[in-house]
Amino acid sequence: MKQSKYLDCTYWELEERMLMCGTNDKNLHMLCEAFNVEIALYDEGFLLNYDNEEDYFMCAKIIKACHELIAEQKKLNESDVYYLINLVKRNKDVKLEHLSCEPIAKTVSGKLIYPKTIGQRLLVKAMDSKDIVFASGVAGTGKTYLAVVYAVTQLKKGSYTRLILTRPAVEAGENLGFLPGDLKEKVDPYLRPLYDALYDVLGHEQVSKLLEKEVIEIAPLAYMRGRTLDNAFIILDEAQNTTSSQMKMFLTRMGFNSKVVITGDASQIDLAKKSESGLTQAIEILKDIKEIGVVELTSLDVVRHPIVQKILDTYEKYENNTNNTKNNFKRNES
């Protein structure tokens, strides 16, 4: 037999209630489907009809967290609701009371940029407090974008005098020497994600000026050899495609008053021998040094279309099942 409870929202603004409902009540429909509840909005609050007390508490927890996000950011996306649903379903005891946080930057159009997930908040916190940060995670978790946005913010504050962005230029068996054009034309396609993030927060004109003045430098990893980088914020992207020797070379470029952020996805290693990735080796070797932070982002931190998260989860299950089948076959053979 269904039970009913009101979730008080008399203190909510009308706009906040509408944002909670979403376009054509899409947000409420997502909650109803996820927790087998019925939700209706009245003047005094949301009326929840439910069979299971646990479903009510999880749904109510998400609605309260959504209100906190709305009050802080003046908006609520479907991706926010989808993220909260998955977060609570994976861990019903997770605390959502302080999910909102300060924006870290603005886009060139004035839109505030917030860390969207718990994993992203941990990444920002690590960049605040550590000299070197490893951010490892699947595609779509925003690790590169957040690192670039955070770096630009620090550059504007004067914490560093230059921003250096680099990544391995040899991927999937291709070599720069086989590509047409001068060095910039050879390298730019590999560095496009870094340019995109810069354009988002600075605009094309400002990025061009800073590149011309060499305040921002974008170069392939090979060009870091032999340098000492002082007063710089340095980002190494696609680090899963570094070799062990390349990673060691890069890490030892760090000079005084510098910060290093290393991003990569261990599931997308293009090296001939995947086990020799400089990223995975460095995390394992250096994780206990107190000045180094390691943040692991998962499919739960994906901030692209919700279907991307479903795709990643499905692939992960498939790969795990495939690996288990192979391991069982090997054990049976022996």
Q: Are 213 and 202 in contact (CB under 8 A)?
A: no
Q: Are 146 and 115 in contact (CB under 8 A)?
A: yes
pLDDT at 21 over 90: yes
State pLDDT tens for residues 52-111.
Answer: 999 999 999 999 999 988 988 888 888 889 889 988 988 888 877 656 678 888 898 888
The domain 3-90 is placed in CATH, from the list 3.90.1150.10, 3.40.1160.10, 3.20.20.140, 3.30.1370.10, at 3.30.1370.10
In the structure, what pLDDT confidence band is assigned to residue 313 with cuts at 50, 70 and 90? confident
- Say how many C-beta atoms besides its own lie within 10 A of residue 311's C-beta: 16
pLDDT at 121 over 70: yes
Q: Are 218 and 211 in contact (CB under 8 A)?
A: yes
Percent of the chain with pLDDT over 90: 51
- Structural domain boundaries of the chain? 3-90, 105-303
| Residue 254 dihedral angles phi and psi, to the nearest 5° | -65, 130
Model pLDDT, residue 311: 82
Q: Are 197 and 148 in contact (CB under 8 A)?
A: yes
Model pLDDT, residue 159: 96
Rounded CA gap, 190 and 192, in Å? 6
**Do the first three CATH levels of 3-90 and 105-303 match, i.e. the same topology?**
no
Please classify residue 94 by burial: count the beta carbons closer than 10 Å to its beta carbon, then call 0-12 exposed, 13-18 middle and 19+ buried: middle
Amino acid identity at 92:
K
More confident residue, 42 or 95: 42
| Average confidence (pLDDT) over 27-48 | 92
Amino acid identity at 121:
R
In the structure, what pLDDT confidence band is assigned to residue 22 with cuts at 50, 70 and 90? very high
State pLDDT tens for residues 139-194.
Answer: 888 899 999 999 999 999 999 999 999 988 754 444 555 555 655 666 677 778 88
Query: Quick one: which of 191, 137, 145 has its CA closest to 169?
Result: 191
Q: How far is CA 254 from CA 10, 36, 161, 223, in A?
A: 54, 53, 14, 14
Q: What is the CATH number of domain 105-303?
A: 3.40.50.300
Rounded CA gap, 71 and 134, in Å? 32
